Amino acid sequence: MRPTWAEIDINSLKSNFLQVKRIVGKDVGVISVVKADAYGHGSVNVSKALIDSGSNLLGVATVEEALELRDSGIDAPILLLGGIQPDEVEAMVKNNLIPSLFSLASAHAINTYAEKIGKKVRYHLKVDTGMSRLGVCVGEICDFLENLLNFRNLELEGVFTHFANADLNSSEPTLEQISVFNVMLSLINQAGLNPQYIHSANSAAIQRFPESHMNLVRPGIMLYGAGRMGDFELKPVMKLKTRITQLKRITAGTPVSYGGTFIASRPSIIATLPIGYADGYMRRLSNRARVSIRGFTAPVVGTVCMDMTMVDSTEVPGVMAGDEVVLFGDEMVSAEDVARWADTIPYEIFSITGKRVPRVYI
């Protein structure tokens, strides 16, 4: 009922997935990253579409995210990219989730429970090649593997790392990480472990570093139509839309919104939109962003409020209350534009789009 919504184009999502497959080739599998509610696009509907398109696995950050997919009837393999806590082990095993392992404490907890119920649990070993976030470092890998071999109810299915700088102009940091990763893979093989899956490439590396593709890649942002590098075609998947609630004619010198941060320099037509920072339309966009109305762009004026945003629609011919407004996602205002105005990245713009903004799938 609310005149603010996020329109999700499933065909564009599938097109972006097929672009990934065209880049990496038929012999390389795909783990589609659908964490953070599929970057704000709705994890259940997005995951079903990606599985239909041929995704081999799904990647989430938390057990709760994975359980939402399981509860919706999705039985595809799901990798917990953020690891596992000991008190999450039972839910993880019962729902056939695949943990990322980089902690012996977690490995012990999983092995103990798996042994108790007579089951073997597949896992992916996370190694740190330069991100300095999660993973086993190269200097620790031999001792770590020696300990892992004592856990008889754990079965290595994959090995992976994550790149810190694949989207930067300089290729040297990523090439160095690939080199370290290859050294660690050699040590893992020498320990007698032969993973089915080897993966390192995120969206940027998929497009820039063919040597990182291994036999599985992990696209995230490019599935949702952002993060394009080079000549690859990616289609926007989300359009954030609303409708004008009221038009107000004001005189020159009239302040708009909290604090009067915008003062009209001319007689103006101010359009009030029923969307604000509680919906994920950031306060930082005040007096910076533009929106799309009737094929024209109009500036956001005054401070973005919790539930409302004001736009100067003076130069939009024929503007009327009830007109559809695109905050981002069409050919006039992109998510990258909004990210630039907000001094952030499209990942954040998508993922903070609030729960009270309904998703409409087309």
- The verdict on whether 35 is a catalytic residue reads yes
**Inside any domain, residue 3:** no
Contact 287, 301 (CB under 8 A): yes
Q: What is the pLDDT along the chain (362 residues), one digit of tens a residue?
A: 889 999 999 999 999 999 999 999 999 999 999 999 999 999 999 999 999 999 999 999 999 999 999 999 999 999 999 999 999 999 999 999 999 999 999 999 999 999 999 999 999 999 999 999 999 999 999 999 999 999 999 999 999 999 999 999 999 999 999 999 999 999 999 999 999 999 999 999 999 999 999 999 999 999 999 999 988 899 999 999 999 999 999 999 999 999 999 999 999 999 999 999 999 999 999 999 999 999 999 999 999 999 999 999 999 999 999 999 999 999 999 999 999 999 999 999 999 999 999 999 99
Q: What is d(CA 284, CA 304) in angstroms, rounded to the nearest whole number?
A: 8
**pLDDT of the residue at 336:** 97
Same domain, 205 and 320: no
Q: Which of 35, 126, 239, 241 is catalytic?
A: 35
Longest dimension (CA), the chain: 77
Q: Which of 159, 193, 224 is the last residue of a domain?
A: 224
- The verdict on whether 21 is a catalytic residue reads no
Q: Which of 116, 119, 120, 258 is catalytic?
A: 258
**Inside any domain, residue 230:** no
The helix (H) or strand (E) run that includes residue 297 is strand 296-299
Pairing of strands 154-160, 197-199: parallel
Contact 266, 314 (CB under 8 A): yes
The pTM (predicted TM-score) of the whole model is 0.95
Same domain, 356 and 267: yes
**pLDDT of the residue at 2:** 86
Structural domain of 343: 238-361
Same domain, 23 and 100: yes
Same domain, 177 and 262: no
Q: Which residues pair with 361 in a beta bridge?
A: 8
**Inside any domain, residue 349:** yes
Contact 59, 66 (CB under 8 A): no
Contact 262, 255 (CB under 8 A): yes
Span between the terminal Cα atoms of the chain, in Å: 17
Question: What total number of domains does the chain contain?
Answer: 2
**Inside any domain, residue 343:** yes
Q: What is d(CA 135, CA 180) in angstroms, rounded to the nearest whole number?
A: 13
Same domain, 216 and 253: no
**Inside any domain, residue 78:** yes
**Inside any domain, residue 125:** yes
**Inside any domain, residue 231:** no
CA atoms within 13 A on the CB side of 154: 26
**pLDDT of the residue at 357:** 97
CA dist list (Å): 188 to 143, 191, 198: 11, 5, 11
Structure tokens at 256: 């708009």
Same domain, 183 and 41: yes
**pLDDT of the residue at 230:** 83
- The number of helices, as runs of H, and strands, as runs of E, in the chain is 11, 19
Pairing of strands 216-217, 29-33: parallel
CATH number for the domain including 71?
A: 3.20.20.10
